[in-house]
Amino acid sequence: MIYNLGSINADYIYRVPHLPAPGETLAATEMTRGLGGKGANQSVAARLAGSQVTHIGSVGSDGGWAIEAMAGFGVDCAHVTSGDAPTGHAIINVDPGGENAIVILPGANQKQSLNQLEMAIGAASASDILLLQNETSHQVEAAQLGREKGLTVVYSAAPFSAKSVQEVMQFVDLLVMNSVESEQLSTALDVSLSQLEVPKLLITKGAAGADWIEAGNTLHVPAFPVTPVDTTGAGDCFIGYLAAGLDQGMRPDDAMRLAAAASAIQVQRYGTADAIPTRVEVDAFLADC
């Protein structure tokens, strides 16, 4: 079982001829709205990968559609609350090469209910996984509760904040960062990655694959070579599938390969949560490799 204290956003995705420069006004060629947020993306990915997922989050009074969308994927939304703050949203510009530039309004994601969090995690058992990111309030409380319950705490340190990582790190079993974030953390703490006081590290490197670092050893899994059209949410897809693989008893290398395949499919589609592939699609992709 996977529990996820995570953001829920409305993603407004604009197709643009190139990412805007400072002071530049661009005409978009297309706009779509869909379910997003690092938390929602990870929950959907983990559920599509075949794990049971309970999402803990918050939306505004305008966010009923997002809850319905997550529930439509099979995510348990019994612990998603509704409040006065607006539902979080993201403005995402995507260029023809699939690169993006994103502005986020946190909204209700920063208004999580501590009582709801305690109720949700209180139902968890030591064999469960807790996913966290940096787009909500109460990450520290959630990580501490997860540690006390014996859950495997997986923390995606994005959007990156060295202060947030320092506050949560003592309760984390698997710290997830991309290569830029790992360099930022090493610089901020003035330590090497091998000196970070966490049991396991996962460094994602996009097209260069990912590294699992544990007990001084590094396990590298390459990415699958594909031509991306939209990289938005690819990291979330990876982490959701990885968590599901671990939840289902896979070894880290097998879970990473599963996650890499899911991300390879996702980046060849437009969108975020709606672009995440099903387990059937991922298994078929791997069978052809």
The DSSP string of the chain is -EEEE---EEEEEEE-SSPPPTT-----SEEEEEEE-HHHHHHHHHHHTT--EEEEEEEETT-HHHHHHHHHTT-EEEEEEEESSPPEEEEEEE-TTS-EEEEEE-GGGG---HHHHHHHHHT--TT-EEEE-SSSS-HHHHHHHHHHHT-EEEEE--S--HHHHHHHGGG-SEEEEEHHHHHHHHHHHT--GGGSS-SEEEEE-GGG-EEEEETTEEEEEPPP----S--TTHHHHHHHHHHHHHHTT--HHHHHHHHHHHHHHHTTSSSSGGGPPPHHHHHHHHHT-
Assess whether 236 carries a catalytic annotation. Answer: yes
Question: Could you say which of 76, 230, 236, 247 is catalytic?
Answer: 236
Residues catalogued as catalytic: 236
